[in-house]
Structure 1
Amino acid sequence: MYVTDDLKFVLSTQCFVIKNKIRMCDNKTSDALEIIDAGLVAAQPKYFLRKFIKKNKLLVRSKTISLSKFRRIYLVSVGKAADSMTEFACTKINFDGGITIIPKNYKVKHIGKNIDIIHASHPIPDRCSVMAATFVIKLLQSLNPDDFVVFLISGGTSSLLALPWGVDLNQKKKTTEILLKSGASIHEVNAVRKHISAIKGGQILQHLKCQAASYVMSDVVGDDLNVIASGLTYCDNSTYADCLKIVTKYGLEKRLPPSVMRHLNAGVKGLLPETPKRPKIPNIIVATNADCLEAMAYKAKLLGYDTKILHSVHGPVNITAKKIIETFSFKKKSCLVFGGEPTVFVHGAGKGGRNQELVLRIAGNIKDNVVVASVGTDGIDGNTKHAGAVFSSASKNHIATYLKNNDSNSFFRKYGGLILTGPTHTNLMDIGLILSE
């Protein structure tokens, strides 16, 4: 992403998305926290949606759509960034109605008076997620061919909007929980989600009778529209056969509910229809993790660091940590900013998240004059209230014991370094850095 002039102006000053930054700052961590904060600021929807949503106009690829020619304009916004995306869109478009679906722990941003708010569960769906799905379907079914729908989609949608198919809600909840702890990538998790859903992978659009466009924030490595939000307004290139391969790969055949296994096997035998394989409406990716990394690199250079970017870190967290260390130069006043989404196989009963665990794994293999930090741009890391952690010179004692129990949060609670932002109302995966003072 080109860092725009207005964003450069913001980044040239101190940013305060990190709530406990002042209390945490010292001579070693000050620059690291400033750079992380810059990435969090750059993830806010207002900085990129303005390129696509104009006053009663939409930019759809190279085409401009004037909304004045349609009878009514409706909004469907879902995800961790749903209310902040809606907030901006409502300054440009006079919507006749719509729905915004956000996590339950969110304090709603100011949005248009015609937009209904629904709170649902993340990362495991609940009855509110099902209710939200039925409300969206009813809205789409009520529209006429001369209406228009603007979809705003961001990470978290897979659980916030749910309509199980072939299984009940409890079985889908159990399946989701097992998959998220198995070490499977989000591509693999969402492949299974789509095939036990009546709306994912573009299936919800079977209820759409009018024109529409979908603006999507990417929270997955590779920015694959099939995977982001489980392809809600797109389509799906995975199959039932792929799902069974994933189940076998992680040894989940006997752990998943029997109804799920019966459903997937029926799909492989051709007894159930596949998910749509072609998109019905245009889907435009408006922001990615790379946008945050560019802003972080810009801030690091302002602070005098020789800076490099490592894109799309993914895979098992231990391998990701090793790759980051190998990529970093360790030269004085050097900085490596990185982003993506590693995976963690949860085998312990501790508290933590992939960012805190990544920092802890790197911490055991760095020198005392090196700082490492990593956060989730959504402000929530794993099963904690923290966004991530920063490590500078804390004790390295017993790191292996904390990692063995997936208890990185307890380590940072004891020695310091936990980063607190609260929900950021955005989601562009994880961002981090390693730098030499």
Structure 2
Amino acid sequence: MSKSDAMKIIHSGIASSKPENFIKKYVSKNLLRCGTRSFAVSDYGNIWIVAMGKAADTMTKSIAKIIPIAGGIVVIPKNYAPVIRNKKFQIVRAGHPTPDSGSVFAGKTIRAFLKNTSCKDLVVFLVSGGTSSLVCAPEGVTLEQKIKTSRILLESGASINEINAIRKHISAVKGGKILDSLCCTAISYVMSDVVNNDLGSIGSGIVFCDKTTFSDCIGIVKKYGLEKKLPKSVLSRLRLGAMGKISETPKKPKIPNQIIAQNSDCLDAMRTTAKKLGYSTLVYPKLTGDVELAAKKILKKFNAQNNTCVIFGGETTVKVRGNGKGGRNQELVLRMISQLPTKTLVASLGTDGIDGNTKNAGAIFDHPVSRNLIKQYLENNDSNSFFAKHGGLITTKPTHSNLLDIGLILKKL
């Protein structure tokens, strides 16, 4: 029964992350609200969409139901089947979590599109998680060097804010640079996939600006011992920038940006569902940092009383040491199950439906196991193989959304 309850709570969190739940709060038939400003539909000749990220197609579909859209560009992961079929939207498929030639094509296509807009038009940017990889324009480095850099950063244990800081400083479009091609009025609606909702980090601040510096990037490289791992061209560019020999990223936003959805929206929905099912709830938001430490933090919040549900959300990091299959959510669950009391369940998954280098969203497990049993799986970062053997994998397929990770610990009578 507790597993059934857990899945109901989890599914309510995923359902709440759909863009259609949020777009309508900011867009009506005659008006678009963004930040402190309002934009009348009737004031513009054409309204165009430039959508980027894992929720690009669903965000586009939601807004196109409300106001007339002339057309636009929608950039999605190459393994996605788009939910929109209208020919007025150019669908661009690109690489994720590492960029590819499709990502470079997306960057070129968007810049060319923006240059061809009329001063009487309005461009609505729709930004969601995954944009950093999906839209790419390497600057001072090659695509191959940027791909290598992305992979090294993703496996280093660095936070998404730290990863995106370096991404912005080796890019010609991130950190607001893409707006150099803009010829008309524009606004941006953003679904946050970072814990602190930093607009400069979501999608590497592609239509915002950048508060980080080349010097910050050098600090990140040293923090994770990447001096001998990153391509020489990347290190050279960062060092030249830190010496003031390369122009910094834009430091002031050019257009209004509005965060329309965040992880706490999912946690609120989960809490409501858990209460309806009769559970006493505690919400632990903004879970970050190393996955091992994160597991300990959550377990400390759990009081092991019957009918208790601890709900958590955020994004942990994993230092990749082995060559197994897994993701931060599956590893989080695996690290917790050896310390669970009886009749207790733990689950964690990504709201985008993808966890790490697997086809699963996360994992759910409801009985304790010995530390010896899980030790070898953890050492090889092979959490997926454990759950494939012992059960517990959660599979949702891509959700066309992304509001970080969600999870829970549940104890039933």
Flag whether TM exceeds 0.5 (same fold): yes
The offset of 1:413, in angstroms, is 0.5
| 1:407 matched to 2:382 | yes
CA displacement, residues 12-65 of structure 1 (integer Å, 9 cap, x when unaligned): xxxxxxxxxxxxxxx341111111111000000001111011114201234331
Structure 1 unpaired stretches of 5+: 1-26
Structure 2 unpaired stretches of 5+: none
Aligned counterpart in structure 1 of residue 302 of structure 2, from 316, 328, 348: 328
- Contact 2:2–2:411 (Cα < 8 Å) also in 1: no
Residue 89 of structure 2: aligned partner: 115
Aligned counterpart in structure 1 of residue 329 of structure 2, from 355, 368, 386: 355
Aligned counterpart in structure 2 of residue 427 of structure 1, from 385, 402, 409: 402
What amino acid is aligned across from residue 406 of structure 1 in structure 2?
Answer: N
Residue 240 of structure 1: aligned partner: 214
SS of 1:50 mapped into structure 2:
helix
Following the alignment from structure 2 to structure 1, what is the Cα–Cα distance between the partners of residues 159 and 249?
20
Following the alignment from structure 2 to structure 1, what is the Cα–Cα distance between the partners of residues 184 and 27?
19
Number of residues of Structure 1 aligned to a counterpart in Structure 2:
411
- Contact 1:56–1:93 (Cα < 8 Å) also in 2: yes
Aligned counterpart in structure 2 of residue 88 of structure 1, from 47, 51, 62: 62
SS of 1:123 mapped into structure 2:
coil
SS of 1:406 mapped into structure 2:
coil
What amino acid is aligned across from residue 209 of structure 1 in structure 2?
Answer: C
Aligned counterpart in structure 2 of residue 375 of structure 1, from 346, 349, 358: 349
Residue 47 of structure 1: aligned partner: 21
Aligned counterpart in structure 1 of residue 279 of structure 2, from 277, 300, 305: 305
The offset of 1:394, in angstroms, is 6.1
Residue 136 of structure 2: aligned partner: 162
What amino acid is aligned across from residue 381 of structure 1 in structure 2?
Answer: D
- Contact 2:339–2:368 (Cα < 8 Å) also in 1: no
- Contact 1:29–1:371 (Cα < 8 Å) also in 2: yes
| 1:280 matched to 2:254 | yes
Following the alignment from structure 2 to structure 1, what is the Cα–Cα distance between the partners of residues 205 and 33?
21
What amino acid is aligned across from residue 423 of structure 1 in structure 2?
Answer: P
SS of 1:378 mapped into structure 2:
coil
Please tell me the root mean square deviation across aligned C-alpha atoms, in Å: 1.0
- Contact 1:162–1:199 (Cα < 8 Å) also in 2: yes
Cα 1:165–1:55, aligned 2, differ >3 Å: closer, same or farther? same
Residue 79 of structure 1: aligned partner: 53
Deviates more, 1:45-54 or 1:386-395: 386-395
- Contact 2:288–2:316 (Cα < 8 Å) also in 1: yes
SS of 2:283 mapped into structure 1:
strand
SS of 2:74 mapped into structure 1:
strand
The offset of 1:206, in angstroms, is 0.7
SS of 1:51 mapped into structure 2:
helix
| 1:200 matched to 2:181 | no
CA displacement, residues 118-152 of structure 1 (integer Å, 9 cap, x when unaligned): 11110000001000110000010011221110000
Following the alignment from structure 1 to structure 2, what is the Cα–Cα distance between the partners of residues 233 and 188?
18
SS of 1:386 mapped into structure 2:
coil
Cα 1:90–1:217, aligned 2, differ >3 Å: closer, same or farther? same
Cα 1:363–1:100, aligned 2, differ >3 Å: closer, same or farther? same
Percent of aligned positions with the same letter in both sequences?
53
What amino acid is aligned across from residue 154 of structure 1 in structure 2?
Answer: S
Residue 164 of structure 2: aligned partner: 190
Aligned counterpart in structure 2 of residue 316 of structure 1, from 252, 266, 290: 290
What amino acid is aligned across from residue 109 of structure 1 in structure 2?
Answer: V
What amino acid is aligned across from residue 399 of structure 2 in structure 1?
Answer: T
- Contact 1:395–1:415 (Cα < 8 Å) also in 2: no
The offset of 1:328, in angstroms, is 1.3
SS of 1:286 mapped into structure 2:
strand
The offset of 1:76, in angstroms, is 0.1
Following the alignment from structure 1 to structure 2, what is the Cα–Cα distance between the partners of residues 223 and 329?
30
Following the alignment from structure 2 to structure 1, what is the Cα–Cα distance between the partners of residues 38 and 220?
41
SS of 1:403 mapped into structure 2:
helix
Q: Pairwise mapping of residues 215-254 of structure 1 onto structure 2 (< 5 A)?
A: 215-254=189-228
CA displacement, residues 294-314 of structure 1 (integer Å, 9 cap, x when unaligned): 000000001000011111000
